[in-house]
A and B are shown apart, each in its own frame.
Chain A
Amino acid sequence: MNAEQAVETLDLLEREGLVAWVDGGWGVDALVGTQTRPHADLDLVIPKGAVPAVRSLFVEEGFEVVRDWLPSALALRHPDGREVDLHPVDPTADGGGEQVHRDGRRWHYDKPVAGSIGGRRVLCCSLATQIRAHVGYEPSEDDRADMRLLADRFGSELPAPYGDPAPGSVTILTGPPGAGKTTVARLLVEDLPRGVHLDADAFYHWIRRGWIAPWLPESRAQNTTVIDVIAGAAVGYAQGGYDVVVDGIVGPWFVEPFIREAAAGRVTLRYVVLRPTLDVSLARATGRGKEALVEEAPILRMYDEFCDLGSYEPFVVDTTDMTAEDSAALVRARVARHEFDLPDWRA
């Protein structure tokens, strides 16, 4: 549907006394006042009561119904290739309208605004309506292009999954006690131009009263709070442009707060589990100084929790026969290949 055909279609409706609002891709181009890409169809918002008359008008013009999704949409195509997609609405007091989806949900169109197609003044969906209409599903390349266009033209901040990623990243480096997390984290951060080594244990140690050993069953609420705080801090650093390595016990059961924070902050998130054999883990952990956890029972229990990680097994690095330097090098290489990336908020 080219600009001339779009204008002809709008003229046809206006001759019959109806001013439709332009939605969809043509709506975006109408907002910016110029055609930026080809459009397969012309999306039009019309009052619900006008649907039978508009349908009759298009049929008389030679269009045929190709998709009847009423009450939410009705698509018609002309043998010459023109296609219109009608979006019926109940007019609302604010000058906008409400579309009823097929599942019964209602979608609100704000009051339309002035735009132009091919130099002709048209009514089109507002910037806010367009941005709202583009979230909650997997966007196409056209959707991404449309949103970038609106952001560039109007300076609007785009919601996920359209905004630019934050400049930093968060890498959760975890594993059982004695896995080598702290040493490897230190090596990873040393290599970064702007790096943060976030020691998760410190967040537990800062609790001065009411602290519960985090490996005890009754510590669950405390641990949930602490993990939420760590996730927030890590993402905060990443949004400031730092690459953050979170060093601590963060089993898959505690990854969700990081995924949530990273998605909200548009931050790249990685998950790495260092897991040597039990013998090596135990020997390293119990060989530390008095400050560290050297009791075998909690170490064994935590090791057990990292033994079968299900869908997180691909994130495991076996460091049994590796030096810390080798482990760090391997982690760096696999990070570069995106092998540790967690579900991408941009996807």
Chain B
Amino acid sequence: MTAVEDIAAWVAGLSAANLPADVVDLCRDQRRSVLGAVAA
């Protein structure tokens, strides 16, 4: 496996619980922003 494949496999295995809380919050804000734009 190359280093890039290693990193990709690691990222693919992540869940929200593995991420820093502020990153998760930013993701949720981004999601709400998308849904808000769709609903508008």
B21 at the interface (CB under 8 A from A): no
B7 at the interface (CB under 8 A from A): no
Question: Total number of A-B contacts with CB less than 8 angstroms?
Answer: 30
Total interface residues in chain A, CB < 8 Å? 13
Q: Mark B1-40, 1 if CB is under 8 A from A, else 0.
A: 0000000000000001000000000010001101111110
* Complex Cα spacing A49 to B38, Å: 6
Q: Given the known inter-chain contacts A17-B32, A57-B31, please indicate yes or no for A50 contacting B16, CB distance below 8 A.
A: no
Q: Given the known inter-chain contacts A53-B31, A56-B31, please indicate yes or no for A17 contacting B36, CB distance below 8 A.
A: yes
Which residues of the other chain, B, contact A56 by a CB distance below 8 angstroms?
Answer: 27, 31
Contact B35 A18, beta carbon cutoff 8 Å: yes
Contact B39 A18, beta carbon cutoff 8 Å: yes
Which residues of the other chain, B, contact A57 by a CB distance below 8 angstroms?
Answer: 31
Contact A18 B31, beta carbon cutoff 8 Å: no
Contact A50 B38, beta carbon cutoff 8 Å: yes
A residues 66-96 touching B (CB-CB < 8 Å): none
A167 vs chain B, min Cβ distance (A): 51
Contact B35 A53, beta carbon cutoff 8 Å: yes
A60 at the interface (CB under 8 A from B): yes
Q: Given the known inter-chain contacts A17-B39, A18-B39, A19-B39, please indicate yes or no for A52 contacting B34, CB distance below 8 A.
A: yes
* Complex Cα spacing A56 to B33, Å: 13
A54 vs chain B, min Cβ distance (A): 8
Task: Given contact pairs A16-B32, A17-B36, enumerate 7 new A-B contacts (beta carbons under 8 Å).
Answer: A17-B39, A19-B39, A47-B39, A52-B34, A53-B31, A53-B35, A54-B35
Contact residues of A with B, CB < 8 Å?
Answer: 16-19, 47, 49-50, 52-54, 56-57, 60
